[in-house]
Structure 1
């Protein structure tokens, strides 16, 4: 019953890696990268899930999401990212929040 959450998280993780890989060197600061990734993930968040249609929830599958980018101490040019995802749907009465941690390279580390 939890596989859909795992599949969705893996899909977002894959896109995160692809986006950062394609944008290496585009960001001057970690805050700029975090802001860009946060804006990207907000495209998949429904602002009013309590009053949304099923179609809207299918197009915007997350009820909440957040991206945090942190510098890796002792390893300049590398960042850790944390994705917090909360889907709309609950299975078996369980409210699920998912967290993904990933390492992101920058142009400084390349």
Structure 2
């Protein structure tokens, strides 16, 4: 799932306000890195360390995917779809149309056909 999110992310553009190949919002990076590595990182540190970025994204996605697996009665495809929606919007539902639906479909495609 981590790789599907990376492959589905829009390309990094200079000064777009997002960090790493997963396009992470800067405000959440210190919290996520602290939760997953035990040490908060700045967005610049996160951007400069792709190995840690992947590890942190994997940690957070594992947490969210576990939640969605439970909520979906262990339906993997529903859980992946809902986790992809959460990654894009912060909510596991509501990605049924427009750009968010397109993004979720890209994630699903990469997830099912790595």
- Normalising to structure 1: TM-score of the pair? 0.33
* TM-score of the aligned structures, taking structure 2 as reference length: 0.32
Q: Normalized per residue, which structure has more helix?
A: 2
